[in-house]
Amino acid sequence: MNDALDREKFGSIPHAISRRAFIKGVIAGGLGVSAAGYLFRASSLFAQSAAGERLITINVNSVNRHADVMKQETLAWTLRHKLGLTGTKLGCDRAECGSCTVLIDGVPRYACSVLTHSVRNRKVLTIEGLENPDGTLHPLQQGIVDEQGFQCAFCMPGFIMSAMGFLKSNPNPTRAELAQGVSGNLCRCQDYDKILTALMRGAEYVRNSNYA
Ligand code: FES
Ligand code: FES
């Protein structure tokens, strides 16, 4: 994404109203938010699903999980519909919006465009895998809660996972660098200025913490 589009995305936008509790509820597991598009595609995929499934094991959030998977099944589908990890969102389902971003071996990838069979023997990290077992949010998540950086928050898990991957290579980015780092993610609410502020706050928290 070029600089002009980044400026358009991250230009000044008025602050939205308070919704701290809602965002905190969504941020840990992505509950309560859905997209209409994939629901229509879901019916056709279910119709095909009875035949050709194969039991495989994939490592998700440091746990080996078993699932019956079709050869053409995407990782996003497996995460959401076979493993119950609905924090990974499906927006476009064709590698355009970034809502489905997860980390595969530490690298951000669009889960809607990765076949589940291809991630055997690799490590998948989803938004559900960020918080501590005691429920303490990852500092990047905490920064977003503190800044209340999203409106509907449908795009939020994807932005967080993209930022997670980017911060591994650049833990102390400028605002422009971070904007470039998450430029593969789109927000239908067009709340880019607040999103970037929240991610910058989260990056600061990560630097000041013991988290990787
Ligand atoms: S749902 Fe995967 S990029 Fe949009
Ligand atoms: S906050 Fe609504 S889609 Fe991004």
E strand or H helix at 64, and its extent? strand 63-70
In the block, residue with structure tokens 């290579």: 169
pLDDT in tens, 50-75: 568 899 999 999 999 999 999 999 99
Structure tokens belonging to residue 139 = 């500092």
Alpha-carbon distance of 80 to 60, in angstroms, equals: 12
What is residue 45's predicted lDDT score, i.e. its pLDDT?
A: 56
What is residue 34's predicted lDDT score, i.e. its pLDDT?
A: 44
pLDDT in tens, 11-55: 443 444 445 555 555 555 544 444 444 444 554 555 555 568 899
Alpha helices in the chain (DSSP H): 3-9, 20-29, 37-48, 75-77, 139-147, 156-169, 175-181, 192-207
Assess whether the C-beta atom of 192 lies below 6 angstroms from ligand 2.
no
Alpha-carbon distance of 208 to 206, in angstroms, equals: 5
Pocket test for ligand 1, best of 100, 156, 183, 188 (most atoms within 8 A of CB): 100
- Name the DSSP letter for residue 210: S
Ligand 1 neighbours by CB, cut-off 6 Å: 90-93, 95-100, 110, 112
pLDDT in tens, 90-103: 999 999 999 999 99
Domains along the chain?
Answer: 3-31+132-207 (1.10.150.120), 37-129 (3.10.20.30)
- Give exposure, 28-50, as e/b (b: 16+ Cβ within 10 Å): bbbeebeeeebeeeeeeeeeebe
> Could you tell me the CA-to-CA distances from 190 to 8, 86, 89, 174 in Å, in that order?
10, 23, 17, 21
Alpha-carbon distance of 158 to 150, in angstroms, equals: 12
What is residue 15's predicted lDDT score, i.e. its pLDDT?
A: 42
pLDDT in tens, 144-184: 999 998 999 999 999 999 999 999 999 999 999 999 999 99
CB 89 within 8 A of CB 186: no
What atom in ligand 1 is closest to the CA of residue 98?
A: 3
Alpha-carbon distance of 7 to 24, in angstroms, equals: 28
The full length of the chain comes to: 212
* Distance between Cα 153 and ligand 2 center (Å): 5
* Distance between Cα 22 and ligand 1 center (Å): 23
Assess whether the C-beta atom of 187 lies below 6 angstroms from ligand 2.
yes
In the block, residue with structure tokens 């499934």: 53
**Closest listed ligand to the CA of 92:** 1
CB 161 within 8 A of CB 102: yes
> Could you tell me the CA-to-CA distances from 110 to 4, 92, 134, 135, 172 in Å, in that order?
24, 11, 28, 26, 24
* Distance between Cα 111 and ligand 1 center (Å): 7
